[in-house]
Structure 1
Amino acid sequence: MGKERLEVAAATAGLAIYLIVGMPIVVVELSGDAAVEPVTRGPFWLWLVCYAGFLVAFVATAVAGTRGHRAGVVSCALLTTACGAGIVLLSGNRGVTPILLVFAAAIAAQYASARLAVGIVAGNTVVVAAAGLWHGVGPLDLLLSTFLYAVLQVLYLFTTWAGQREQEANERLAVAHTELRSATALLAESSQAQERLRIARELHDVLGHKLSALALQLETASHRVSGAAGADVERARLLAKELLSDVRSTVGELRSRPPELRAALETVVRDLPRPRGHLTVADDVEVDEQRITALVRCAQEVVTNAIRHADADNLWLDVRSRADGGVVLRARDDGRGASVLRLGHGLTGLTERAEQLGGSVTFDGREGFVVELELPPAAIPVAAP
């Protein structure tokens, strides 16, 4: 089951428990049986306000936490706890309304600081004990109920924190894996480029020189013989010159062959567990070693940012050429984006790398997170004869 389905299932189960806990009190009140025996220890409308406010504050805490609004998380978590306390204190000795306090502790553990979460658990435990004392619960039942809900809250705390630590460890592993893949791609491309240059030098220095000498010897021989033998020597001389020209052409191609950009980027984004990578590279894109390094490092930083901060399911990378021969890499994810952009060391380094090559980088966090890197065309190397 995917993450989205798990979240939907968890939200549905939580809403069902919320309704099961509170709806009996609402039904009894609306049915008129409350006239005989009140279902709340205070005004029903006040209980209803706390009940509705709990759901609103709970959802607001999750939304603020997902968007990274720390101040909103603190205020909404405290409001959730306050509404939960009101529900428990006003409900009398009815049902299992203290289970809502466990929900308040769980949402605090998920998005608030550890200190605030522990404080909420302690406050909820005091509320459960106070509600039991207020409603005349026996000492043994009071002790058991207080202990039970305290244990449930602590269990949620440690379970949530353990899950967060595991997620952080997986993110660090994914980031390290991405960095390793990037280094591997650049090393492989550098090794291939060096091997091509070595082969080109060998062809030029060994085979090229010997073919040049052979062509000169055949030209000399063509002046010393005549008749049918002279024609054969002339044909051999022409073949040697053609072969020498082919060797020089091959040497030039080896020296000027562009790096394999598509393969390098595929190495970076391949087999990402989350977000899922989608790579598109136009067929007419050609870059030199400096630009392939910038593009691979850009892809690495984008993937790392998506893993650590975006909470995205998909990441799209599109590389295309400009009309002037430059290249553009546009990366976009479907994560939560950022209302205020704060460039860390990675994105700042990416900007500096682009500016060194005469290019530029733009960022947009309004819908997901978008990075667009533009690099000018590379100088075309001229192969030596």
Structure 2
Amino acid sequence: MRRFDPEIWAGGFMLAVTLVPVAPVVFGALPLEIPRPAWIAIYVVMVLAIIGAFWGVGDRWWPRISFGIVVATSWALVLTATHTGLLPVLFVVAVALSPYLVPVWAGIALVAANSMVLAIALLNLPGGSGGGAGGWGELAVGLGFYVMIQAASLLSSVAMLREQRSRRELAEAHVELQAASVLLAESARTNERLRISRDLHDLIGHQLTVLTLELEAAKHRLASGSSTGAVVAEHVDRADGVARELLSNVRETVGELRAESADLTATLRSIVQDLREPLVEFDIGPDLELDEDRTQLLVRSVQEIVTNTIRHAQARTLRIEVSATPTGVELRAQDDGWGAGDIELGNGLRGLRERFEAFGGTAAFDGSRGFSVVARAER
């Protein structure tokens, strides 16, 4: 279920606006051309359709069907009233909702269609078609007024959607830039560790190996030489042991430098720094030991999850957990957004799954309550 946010409140106020023009009709202040219960039933259907259309923004088909019902019922409510009053406000509500569900050109066409319906309704009023110049003047003023209000509502909704889209695109670009920066820094650290490892191995390791060979040669020569050879051999043995131990320590340091990775928590948090919404919370296991490839896997996966949440979920919070498993590493993500009934994997989520499968793992997605990701990679 969707959470309450400014858009939900906007929808609530939109429904409240529809109550204003219909209240006189509901309470019997205006006569109707059809039975009042039938007219009220049409209004209830319109309200339910508005809720269905607004609640389903982002889905593919049924919100648009609901929107069509909104348009049709608004026409029926206006045409079956013997006095329009403020009922054309229902047209304004439908037009304001249109940019969320149909292209802008369809919203413009709806403004034109609503104006034609309103003209028919005004002409059918008592004295509407024979009111002379004054009647036609009132008709023109009424039509012009509601055309301007509809146009203003349409343009306002379009501007709001474009502003929202710009903010989402900016947030996505920010996350992608931060992820690229993190990966570049990690690659630089890895290259530096490899350089130091080569230097240690090529210089110190080589020198200590030569020293060990020289000391062994000296030990054999002294052992077969003078009478003091036994004493010298004892010192040579000690030197030989120290040299071998130092060589072993150098090799261990080389191995550690190759395997060491940056702090994963700091690395992942740097991806979403300065991101205002959604608020991303991390829970990173303390016993994680990751190489460069798996660090890159998690960075790219977190980037995709965050951008997917920004683009589709309208979530306020996103929680990401990374923990060690007996056979590898597990990533879990859960947002409090709208969720998705039928999940269709785009390039991003498909790529996320393929990355984990490349490490012998799996990735599963669930949109029943918010949107969640559970992915595992093997060692």
TM range (shorter): 0.7 to 0.9
In the other structure, the counterpart of 1:14 is 14
Q: Of 46, 53, 66, which aligns to 1:54?
A: 46
SS state at 2:282 partner: strand
Aligned ranges 1:331-370 → 2 under 5 Å: 331-370=333-372
> Cα distance 1:5–1:335, how it changes in 2: closer, same or farther (>3 A)?
closer
Deviation (angstroms), 1:331: 1.6
- Aligned-pair identity in percent equals 38
Structure 1 CA distance, aligned partners of 2:370 and 2:56?
16
Structure 1 CA distance, aligned partners of 2:316 and 2:5?
13
Q: Is the 8 A contact 1:276 1:314 kept in 2?
A: yes
SS state at 2:143 partner: helix
> Cα distance 1:132–1:144, how it changes in 2: closer, same or farther (>3 A)?
same
Q: Is the 8 A contact 1:276 1:315 kept in 2?
A: yes
Q: Is the 8 A contact 2:277 2:315 kept in 1?
A: yes
1:262 and 2:253 aligned: no
1:44 and 2:36 aligned: yes
Deviation (angstroms), 1:328: 0.7
Aligned ranges 1:303-382 → 2 under 5 Å: 303-324=306-327, 326-377=328-379
Deviation (angstroms), 1:349: 2.1
Q: Is the 8 A contact 1:285 1:321 kept in 2?
A: yes
Q: Of 47, 60, 64, which aligns to 1:69?
A: 60
> Cα distance 1:177–1:348, how it changes in 2: closer, same or farther (>3 A)?
same
Structure 1 CA distance, aligned partners of 2:321 and 2:150?
47
Q: Of 99, 106, 121, which aligns to 1:116?
A: 106
In the other structure, the counterpart of 2:195 is 198
Deviation (angstroms), 1:147: 0.8
Q: Is the 8 A contact 1:193 1:259 kept in 2?
A: no
> Cα distance 1:341–1:351, how it changes in 2: closer, same or farther (>3 A)?
same
Deviation (angstroms), 1:372: 1.7
Quote the RMSD (CA, aligned, Å): 3.1
In the other structure, the counterpart of 1:271 is 274
1:88 and 2:91 aligned: no
1:286 and 2:283 aligned: no
| More divergent stretch after superposition (73-82 vs 3-12) | 3-12
The one-letter code of the counterpart of 1:323 is P
Deviation (angstroms), 1:244: 5.3
> Cα distance 1:215–1:112, how it changes in 2: closer, same or farther (>3 A)?
same
Deviation (angstroms), 1:239: 7.0
In the other structure, the counterpart of 1:186 is 183
Deviation (angstroms), 1:344: 1.5
In the other structure, the counterpart of 1:145 is 142
The one-letter code of the counterpart of 2:21 is V
For residues 156-181 of structure 1, what are the alpha-carbon distances to aligned partners after superposition, in whole Å with 9 as ceiling and x for unaligned?
22221222222222222222222222
In the other structure, the counterpart of 1:383 is none
Q: TM-score, with normalisation over the residues of structure 2?
A: 0.83
Q: TM-score, with normalisation over the residues of structure 1?
A: 0.82
Deviation (angstroms), 1:298: 1.4
| More divergent stretch after superposition (81-90 vs 140-149) | 81-90
Q: Is the 8 A contact 1:269 1:279 kept in 2?
A: no
Q: Is the 8 A contact 1:181 1:268 kept in 2?
A: yes
Structure 1 CA distance, aligned partners of 2:357 and 2:213?
51
For residues 269-313 of structure 1, what are the alpha-carbon distances to aligned partners after superposition, in whole Å with 9 as ceiling and x for unaligned?
333232221111101111222222222221122122212222222
Structure 2 CA distance, aligned partners of 1:57 and 1:202?
72
Q: Is the 8 A contact 1:73 1:112 kept in 2?
A: no
For residues 226-267 of structure 1, what are the alpha-carbon distances to aligned partners after superposition, in whole Å with 9 as ceiling and x for unaligned?
9xxx99999988877766554444333212324543333222
Deviation (angstroms), 1:376: 0.8
Q: Is the 8 A contact 1:336 1:369 kept in 2?
A: yes
Structure 2 CA distance, aligned partners of 1:244 and 1:355?
39
In the other structure, the counterpart of 2:301 is 298
For residues 190-220 of structure 1, what are the alpha-carbon distances to aligned partners after superposition, in whole Å with 9 as ceiling and x for unaligned?
1101111212222333344456667888996
For residues 112-166 of structure 1, what are the alpha-carbon distances to aligned partners after superposition, in whole Å with 9 as ceiling and x for unaligned?
2334323322221112111211113421111011011111111222221222222
For residues 63-119 of structure 1, what are the alpha-carbon distances to aligned partners after superposition, in whole Å with 9 as ceiling and x for unaligned?
2325x032x223222221222122222333353111111001111222223343233
The one-letter code of the counterpart of 2:290 is V
Q: Could you list the runs of 5+ residues in structure 2 that have no partner in the other structure? A: 129-134
Greater RCO structure (CA 8 Å; 6+ sep): 2
In the other structure, the counterpart of 2:160 is 163
